[in-house]
Amino acid sequence: MSTLSTHVLDTALGRPARGIRVTLEHDGALIGSGITDADGRVRDLHEKTAQLGGGDYTLRFSVGEYFSASERETFYSEIVVNFRIANGEEHYHVPLLLSPFGYSTYRGS
């Protein structure tokens, strides 16, 4: 079984993005959620005892709320990242590099 972590960096400001609601779904079912902390991380996105099996997953980042809170215009209200976890016991880290008019994501370590 695998584990997952994520964090969000606001590249326009050059710092972590605090206060973004993040949800984790598997097969259309919500299996975890949280809000990014001062380091832009969601520490307990899924229960430690609920390790993730192989399959397709979705991370949803509610970035519209984040930009509205700081009165910044944005092109995005939500960023959805679909990814696949292979069978095994690896850790998956899916960071989001965010700006008001663009974003990037990748599989980190």
Query: pLDDT of 23-40, one tens digit each?
Result: 999 988 999 999 999 999
CA angle 20, 98, 14 (to 5 degrees): 100
Q: What are the residue boundaries of the structural domains of the chain, listed by start? A: 3-105
* pLDDT value of residue 10: 96
Task: Render pLDDT for 39-73 as a digit per residue (tens, 0 to 9).
Answer: 999 988 877 666 688 889 999 999 999 999 989 99
Fold exhibited by the domain 3-105: Immunoglobulin-like (2.60.40)
The pLDDT value given to residue 48? 67
Of 93, 82, 83, which is closest to residue 42 (Cα–Cα)?
93
Nearest Cα residue to 32 out of 60, 54, 53, 55: 60
Higher-pLDDT residue of 2 and 58 is 58
| Contacts of 79 by beta carbon, 8 Å cutoff, 6+ apart | 60, 61, 63, 96, 98, 103
102 in Cβ contact with 15 (< 8 Å): no
Against a cut of 0.85, is the pTM above it?
Answer: yes
